Amino acid sequence: MESHAAFLFDTVEAVNESLFTVEELQYIRQQKEDKKNIIVFNRLKHRDFVVILPEKDDNGALEECRKSGDDIWLQLKGEKNRDLCVIDNAGNEGKVLAFLEGFGLGSYSFGKYKVKEKEDVKTAGKVTLISDAVSDAELKILQVILKAAVTARDLVNEPVMTLNARALADSFVKMAREAGMDVEVFGKKKIEALRMGGLLGVNMGSTDEPTFTRLEWKPENAVNSNPVVLVGKGVVYDTGGMNIKTGNYMEDMKSDMGGAAAVGGAIYAAAMAKLPVHIIALVPATDNRVDGNAIVSGDILTMYSGATVEVINTDAEGRLIMADALAYAKQYNPELVIDAATLTGAAHRAIGKYATVGMQAKAEEPFRRLQAAGEKVCERIVEFPLWDDYKELMKSEIADIRNISTGAEGGAITAGKFLEYFTDYPYIHLDIAGSAMVSSRYGYRGIGGTGVGVRMLFRFFRDMAEA
């Protein structure tokens, strides 16, 4: 069975008679004049795709290349033969890799629970690259990135009945062993000994015990003397607790551990690629359920830091478990702490699925570098302020701080201010509530878990290593 072929060119003028007939060349140029960058020839047993890559050499051009790769996948998806041979005539390593990345990410499918409808699950066949411009080393890194992103997407898409807090921790243990990382998982007794009141409080309504996972990648040649610490929200399912979610607001709440998937995937990719960067990832994990033992509005929790929190709304639970992890991170004297969390509906409403809301405290320079990394992979960050004006909205009359603000305005920011309260180091907060999961296909990001954060953080660490 013949492979389909994708011929990549940097300009339409580069397409010549050594590959196509005069009539085909005329057709290609006509299609390009009509603003079409992918021209298809049906060869009966296979298809030939002529792909004209963008002339510019910037982040926008790389994203167009990813979209082209995804477009090719969509055209092959319905075929019995889904093998593809990519013939590079453009000679631009970055653009070719971006094309392959879009094809690889676009072909993802979460089909493990399809039994009678297995034919609905379409995956890519063998992909062959013919190129003088792309190195074997870069191809291996791309494979690492794709595997990490797909792993994160699998975790987000997995239902809570098979991915509770312990199963999430077990997944990270498996990833750590494969990548050569150090890993430690705290069970409930250890969490109680550490007095992590936020994590324990949210867990009170659950029949499953909480976990707290530490992953560490510490290469001997690390460029940083103090680690970068990642913190990921691991709420494996969120009912809202006693402030229960209504309507259809609960249907995708298995994705509330998207932050955990992002940081787990990012450190896994860094370790698999053997980046010379010292990284630690912390993941507090539990579900948030309704039960006779569950916390209620008005309860006071004593956190790992010793601070007390007045619980005003039990559906603002993610910040409670994150606060314990952020305070725990202080012991590592971190160069920087970055958290990722599906934290607020306010962030989702503000910018939708198209970007991540970001905030920073004492970390303006690394925040700009993280933004730049996000632009390179089109996982963009929109900065929101962390002004102290918002601190007033978080004051409690009976505890050190309340878990939601006194008003509805600025919800994403006040959530960030709550988390900042538990930090004393350079800190970046990423609210991925809108970008972590989508209900309809969003280009190569697919449907369901997007794996957002994995590629951005990996690019950030790679830029650190190459600086």
Catalytic residues: 245, 319
Identify the CA nearest to 157 among candidates 456, 450, 458, 455. 450
CB-based burial, 392-410: b 16+ in 10 Å, e otherwise: ebbebeebbbbbbbeeeeb
Return d(Cα 339, Cα 429) in angstroms, integer. 5
Question: By the 8 A CB rule, do 183 and 177 touch?
Answer: yes
Q: Which residues contact 335 (CB under 8 A, 6 or more apart)?
A: 224, 225, 226, 227, 228, 426
Return d(Cα 352, Cα 117) in angstroms, integer. 32
306: left (phi over 0), alpha (psi -120 to 50) or beta: left
